[in-house]
Amino acid sequence: MNSNQDNESSKSVLSSKKKDKQSLSGSKNLDDRLTSLDANLKKHHIMRDDETKAGGLNDNSGFAYGLKLGSEFVSAILVGAFIGWAFDTWFQTIPFGLIVFLILGFAAGVLNVMRATGQMQESGSGSK
């Protein structure tokens, strides 16, 4: 008998909870649920981000990666050569500007590639 009553009361608690859910009257309860939902969503997002990052690395073909680094490297040399050529035509110093800026462009190309592969950031944060 007693146990039956207990059961009844717990049932009523349950039903009241249900009502709360339906009417959304318990604002504190709702807030709690919202924050927990938020946390869950964040966790989910982080997991998904990790997944996409790993996937992106996997299906990023070697061809695309090579093209990326190649364009970084070559473009800097081209810019260096162009600046050297423009310098020479302005100041009539025909080979020297080209030589100097080609070498600087080469250095900038190496810098670009190191930045693109993320080696630059590590050493930068180390020196800071």
Partner 1 sequence: MGSLGGVELSMTNSALFMIATTVATCGFLMLATGSRGLIPSRMQSIAEICYDFVAKTLRDSAGKDGMVFFPLVFSLFMFVLVANLFGMFPYFFTVTSHIIVTFALAMLVIMTVILYGFVKHGFGFLGLFVPSGIPAAVLPMVVVIEIISFLSRPISLSVRLFANMLAGHITLKVFAGFITSLSTAGIVGIAGATLPFAMTVALTGLEFLVAFLQAYVFTVLTCMYLSDAVHPNH
Which chain residues interact with partner 1 by CB under 8 A?
A: 59-61, 63-64, 67-68, 71-72, 74-76, 78-80, 83, 101, 104-105, 107-109, 111-112, 115, 124, 127-128
Compute the CA torsion angle 91, 93, 95, 96 (nearest 10 deg): -90
Distance CA 128, CA 115 (A): 16
Cβ closest to partner 1, residue 3 vs residue 127: 127
Which CB, 54 or 59, lies closer to partner 1? 59
Which DSSP letter does residue 92 get? T
Please, which residue, 68 or 93, has the CB nearer to partner 1? Answer: 68
